[in-house]
Chains A and B, each alone.
Chain A
Amino acid sequence: EAQVTQNPRYLITVTGKKLTVTCSQNMNHEYMSWYRQDPGLGLRQIYYSMNVEVTDKGDVPEGYKVSRKEKRNFPLILESPSPNQTSLYFCASSLPPHGRDEQFFGPGTRLTVL
């Protein structure tokens, strides 16, 4: 089954404790992206990757890092999480983005930073 998986689905952590949220897709998509969803703000892009070893900032990259060492994986790293990073995070993937192709979303990771 074609899908985007994220782990963990739920995470409660404390300020400053480094964490990684994994994202994996099995559709051989070149493009992957991370969004955060906050009430009243919709979804906002954090980082995206056009292909292996090619990443770039989205609209809200502060406090986050990403890496793309393999085509299928695109982990999101919070080196020193803060309470304002409490949010619902979605990973997405698609064919190379020329705007036409649907982005497939993972199920989301709900992160709480205390």
Chain B
Amino acid sequence: AQSVTQPDIHITVSEGASLELRCNYSYGATPYLFWYVQSPGQGLQLLLKYFSGDTLVQGIKGFEAEFKRSQSSFNLRKPSVHWSDAAEYFCAVDLGSQGNLIFGKGTKLSVKP
């Protein structure tokens, strides 16, 4: 069965430090890949998406993600974290059939001053 794994449940980084959130997926072909962010009490906002082409994609709020087919990974990065980045981050894949986004369990990001 298709699945998405986010191995880190909770990450704490200092403000200004770099960030990498991991995401691995299990699927035979290359799926459509997404990163969403959920701020406390809010819905989900799309950060970025990958469909094809350049494997390094840029998103909003200074985030980027790199698709690595050989590792079935789609890790999210940010060079310098801001306190406002504290939120929960979800990686998701869409297999393109029924529109069902398969989500990872999320990584909660805390930012230390």
Contacts and interface: CB of A to CB of B under 8 A. Distances in A.
Interface residues on A, range: 20 to 34
A94 B95 CA distance: 15
B59 to A, nearest CB: 11
A40 B105 contact: yes
Given A99-B95, A100-B32, A45 B49 contact: no
Interface residues of B, number: 27
Interface string A21-58: 00000000001010100001111110010100000101
A96 to B, nearest CB: 8
A47 B29 CA distance: 25
Contacts of B70: none
Specify which of B51, B92, B95, B101 lies most central, judged by the most chain A CB atoms within 10 Å of its CB: B101
Interface of B: 4, 9, 31-32, 34, 36, 42-46, 49, 51, 90, 92, 94-101, 103-106
Interface of A: 4, 31, 33, 35, 40-45, 48, 50, 56, 58-59, 90, 92, 94, 97-100, 102-103, 105-108
